[in-house]
Structure 1
Amino acid sequence: MAGINRALISGYDRIIYENKDIQNNSKVCVFISHKSSDMDAAEAVARYLMQNNIDVYLDKKDADLQKKTKEKDAQGIVDSIEKALKCSTHILVLVSDQTKESWWVPYEVGYSKKGKKKIASALLVGYVDDFPDYLKIEETIKSPDEFKTYAQKLKRLDAPYGTLFENAGQNVSNPSELESYIRRIV
């Protein structure tokens, strides 16, 4: 099973996501905040998370947001971003040299902070060496291993007990092994 990009949800299903109380929604969704020039990296991050059964919101596939951007409809852009953030549980900020020139990334972080979203930021390879001060007070990801750990943590939030095979770290091939495993978690 794979996660989805919620920006692709449309029609009635989108209305349900946008109006759902995210606190009662157990499915993790990561809003990927980035400068548009870092879209390749954002898509790679989104793919990795979705392959790990984590939902994402990546703006490139949001038809309404793209339309509002093309029309230069500032209020429509703000509304689209806020709706996407409301139906996300986390925000992941991709930090590069380009990020400091973004007007939207700080807005998305501020709106997320106000909405009590979990905030993390990741340094993109080959770019800046450090995070802006306003991101240093949140979770920071500086290496591929730290990113994998972050993804695993998100995955555990969706399925705190994981699967028997995943948590056991081994193949459970006979009933006695399965019983032994079950007793360990009870």
Structure 2
Amino acid sequence: MAINRFYSTKQISRNSFLALGIKCVFISHQQKDKESAKKITDYLIAAGIDVYFDEYDKDLKIHHQSNNPKAVTDAIRTGINNSSHMLVVVSPNTLYSTWVPFEIGYGYDKTDLYALCLKGIPYRGLPEYVRSATIIRDIYDLNNLISRISKVDKEILLQKRMMSDYGNQTNPLRNVMDALINDSYS
């Protein structure tokens, strides 16, 4: 069973975390995209992937509410330090984020960095600081990424219903991401 790793690795050092060999995805997103980010988080957890998602970090919420940027920064750094991968949820709102660029900068050389495009995001809609990441354009790409991270064949994950085929009309991400995009970004 996958979990939100905020609960179990909060006090662990980066080197200790890496030594454990745990695969955990830090979900970076602009607050206006929280609902979409939550659906993506739930999809990853259902597929057996551990995540760090800020919604469950009560300390982070308190620091935001008390307008304590140093403590917010420390909480974000802890989340990234306890993650092997970072998935940046990209929408038009990302352009106005104050924290997503910081998260990408801090996690760039610590995690495997991916940018996940929400439904209808064209390449020209990606902020320049995101274009250096591997782009996850659609549900098909996300399913492939889940298979690579979990080291479980995609067909097995589909058969066990740990994830849903990109073309399935009941896929929980159907309204969040494009199913399959065939044109290239070049």
Q: Under TM normalisation by the shorter chain, which class is it?
A: 0.7 to 0.9
Higher helix share: 1
Query: Is the 2:37–2:89 contact (alpha carbons within 8 Å) kept by the matching residues of 1?
Result: yes
Tell me whether 41-50 or 19-28 shows the greater mean CA deviation.
19-28
Query: Is the 1:18–1:84 contact (alpha carbons within 8 Å) kept by the matching residues of 2?
Result: no
Q: Tell me the equivalent position of 1:119.
A: 113
**Structure 1's 138 and 14: CA in aligned 2 closer, same or farther, altered over 3 A?**
closer
1:108 pairs, out of 79, 103, 115, with 103
Q: Tell me the equivalent position of 2:129.
A: 134
Q: Tell me the equivalent position of 2:56.
A: 61
Give 1:25 shift: 2.3
Query: Is the 1:31–1:91 contact (alpha carbons within 8 Å) kept by the matching residues of 2?
Result: yes
Unaligned runs of 5+ in 1: 157-161, 170-186
Amino acid at match of 1:44: K
Moved over 3 A (4+): 17-20
Which runs of structure 2 are paired with 1:12-161 in the superposition (5 Å)? Answer: 14-15=10-11, 17-18=12-13, 21-115=16-110, 117-126=111-120, 128-130=121-123, 131-156=126-151
Aligned-residue CA RMSD (Å): 2.1
Query: Is the 1:113–1:119 contact (alpha carbons within 8 Å) kept by the matching residues of 2?
Result: yes
Residue correspondences, number? 155
Unaligned runs of 5+ in 2: 160-186
1:69-90 CA-partner distances (Å, limit 9, x unpaired) = 1100110000000011001011
Query: Is the 1:20–1:87 contact (alpha carbons within 8 Å) kept by the matching residues of 2?
Result: no
Q: Tell me the equivalent position of 1:178.
A: none
The percentage of aligned residue pairs carrying the same residue is 28
Normalising by structure 1, we get a TM-score of 0.76
Give 1:18 shift: 4.7
